[in-house]
């Protein structure tokens, strides 16, 4: 469960009222994992009679040595000398596809557990997106109590643990009666589920382990923002350790795909920890505030028939403001910003009017006085607008800008006026 803004992806199902999406980056995992399984893991598992793939490494070395001593003998012939029947090539590929789709199901089960428990404690779940590093349960609100946070965070790893242990039991007790191909798959499913438990329990926010840590610190200090800060700091320390392992691998072993993975996962965790801390800090600091608290009321408006060169000279330079509401009479028509002007070639500025360059009302350039600041911030990011016009009913009362919100955020953070959650 990581706080990554992944709202895109193919919608594939709806389970317990939760929409499941697959992000495009899953194709990367599909190809990488299927080729790794078919090319390395399953053939080695084959040599270990359907057991662990590292158990097959030794046999592979023996076969290799035998072949060098007796050139011209095929893999099949040598393997048979050791009592092993090699599976046909196509079977590796079929099993690899089943293994990759199985990982998909295991990750989905993990994320669904988070989602279902979140709904159970009264937190709205927007959906689940599966992407290259696993899955993200997109949860709209933060948990209101440390206890709720703990339950939601623990649900995923518990599901993975249950799946991993089930596979272990099947492998241990029924392994003898199963085909080696089935045994190899069950061993692999045990491995990935337990790996999911271990990785997700790393105590760095926004991983599950970091959320458990945050819940604990929150419980002790009663301060969500400080708890988030500590958990996200731990997340960055772990990220740095992963990247250092990758760098060390480069230094000692030279360039390797394994090293790249360490670095990529480390980078991902680093930015996720930073971003999710910022998100929580923002939410906490702006809790209870509306546009009313950040609106700039001394607003200068521009008429729609003004030419763009006059807009630049007489308004943007003069007031050093990047965006203006466009008004005719009492009616707000839209907003025009420096960016909109830049989109028009400079040669056209003396001839083109504000009305031609502006973003009309209804195109996401307007917010209302009573909207809460967290949702306004989200709108600005989604629409890539630094300024929005503010309406009271349908009357223009001012503007709100990202810079103003940023200064308000800094002042409130310095004064420590963020909401402190009630003790449980």
Give the count of alpha carbons within 13 A of 396, CB side only.
25
Q: 190, 171 in Cβ contact below 8 A?
A: yes
Distance CA 261, CA 263 (A): 5
Residue count at the site for Zn ion (CB under 5 A)?
A: 4
* Residue 240 Cβ vs Zn ion, minimum distance, rounded to whole Å: 22
Q: Residue 1 interacts with Zn ion (CB under 5 A)?
A: yes
Give me the residues paired with residue 13 across strands: 20
Question: To the nearest 10°, the Cα dihedral for 234, 236, 241, 246?
Answer: 150
Considering only 1-9, 37-45, 333-341, 349-357, which stretch makes contact with Zn ion by CB under 5 A? 1-9
Give me the residue whose beta carbon is nearest to Zn ion. 156
Q: Residue 323 interacts with Zn ion (CB under 5 A)?
A: no
* Residue 362 Cβ vs Zn ion, minimum distance, rounded to whole Å: 40
* Residue 112 Cβ vs Zn ion, minimum distance, rounded to whole Å: 10
Contact mark string toward Zn ion, 150..189, x via CB under 5 A: ------x---------------------------------
DSSP-derived pairing of the beta strands 125-131 and 18-22? parallel
Of the candidate residues 100, 129, 193, 200, the single one contacting Zn ion (CB under 5 A): 200
Closer Cβ to Zn ion, 106 or 280, answer by number: 106
Binding to Zn ion in span 208-247, by CB under 5 A = 208
3-state helix, strand, coil in the chain (%, to 5): 60, 15, 25
* Residue 208 Cβ vs Zn ion, minimum distance, rounded to whole Å: 4
* Residue 239 Cβ vs Zn ion, minimum distance, rounded to whole Å: 17
* Residue 283 Cβ vs Zn ion, minimum distance, rounded to whole Å: 21
Distance from chain centroid for Cα 390: 32
Q: Residue 115 interacts with Zn ion (CB under 5 A)?
A: no
Closer Cβ to Zn ion, 181 or 200, answer by number: 200
Write out the two tokens for 395: 């009357």
What are the C-alpha distances in Å from 420 to residues 146, 152, 222, 226? 13, 21, 7, 10
Omega prior to 206 cis, within 30 of 0: yes
Considering only 175-183, 195-203, 377-385, 405-413, which stretch makes contact with Zn ion by CB under 5 A? 195-203
DSSP-derived pairing of the beta strands 366-368 and 387-392? parallel
Single out the residue of 1, 19, 17, 206 nearest to residue 9, CA to CA. 19
The residues binding Zn ion (CB under 5 A) are 1, 156, 200, 208
């Amino acid at each position: 469960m990581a706080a990554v803004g992944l709202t895109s992806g193919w919608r594939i199902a709806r389970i317990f009222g939760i929409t499941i999406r697959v992000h495009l980056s899953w194709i990367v995992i599909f190809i990488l994992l299927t080729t790794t399984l078919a090319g390395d893991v399953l053939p080695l598992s084959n040599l270990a009679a359907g057991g662990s793939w590292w158990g097959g490494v030794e046999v592979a070395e023996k076969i290799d040595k035998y072949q060098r001593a007796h050139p011209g003998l095929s893999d099949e012939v040598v393997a048979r000398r050791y009592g092993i029947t090699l599976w046909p090539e196509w079977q590796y590929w079929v099993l690899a596809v089943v293994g990759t789709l199985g990982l998909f199901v295991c990750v989905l089960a993990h994320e669904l557990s988070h989602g279902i428990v979140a709904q159970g404690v009264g937190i709205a779940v927007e959906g689940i997106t599966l992407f290259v590093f696993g899955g993200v349960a997109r949860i709209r609100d933060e948990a209101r109590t440390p206890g709720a946070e703990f339950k939601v965070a623990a649900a995923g790893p518990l599901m993975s643990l249950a799946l991993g242990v089930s596979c272990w039991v099947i492998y241990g007790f029924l392994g003898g009666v199963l085909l080696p191909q089935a045994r190899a798959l069950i061993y692999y499913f045990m491995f990935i589920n337990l790996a999911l438990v271990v990785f997700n329990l790393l105590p760095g926010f926004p991983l599950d382990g970091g959320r458990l840590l945050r819940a604990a610190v929150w419980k002790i200090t009663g301060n969500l923002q400080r708890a988030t800060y500590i958990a996200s700091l731990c997340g960055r320390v772990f990220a740095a350790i992963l990247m250092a392992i990758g760098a060390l691998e480069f230094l000692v072993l030279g360039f390797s795909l394994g090293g790249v993975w360490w670095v990529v996962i480390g980078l991902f965790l680093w930015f996720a920890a930073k971003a999710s801390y910022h998100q929580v800090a923002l939410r906490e600091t702006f809790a209870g505030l509306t546009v009313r608290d950040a609106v700039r009321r001394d607003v200068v408006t521009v008429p729609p028939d003004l030419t763009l060169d006059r807009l630049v000279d007489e308004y943007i330079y003069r007031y050093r403001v990047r965006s203006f509401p466009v008004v005719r009479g009492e009616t707000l028509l839209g907003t025009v910003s420096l960016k909109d002007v830049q989109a028009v070639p400079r040669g056209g500025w003396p001839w083109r009017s504000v009305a031609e360059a502006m973003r009309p009302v209804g195109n996401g350039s307007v917010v209302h006085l009573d909207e809460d600041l967290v949702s306004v911030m989200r709108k600005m990011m989604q629409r890539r607008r630094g300024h929005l016009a503010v309406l009271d009913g349908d009357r223009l009362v001012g503007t709100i800008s990202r810079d103003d919100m940023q200064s308000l955020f800094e002042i409130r953070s310095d004064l420590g006026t963020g909401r402190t959650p009630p003790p449980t």
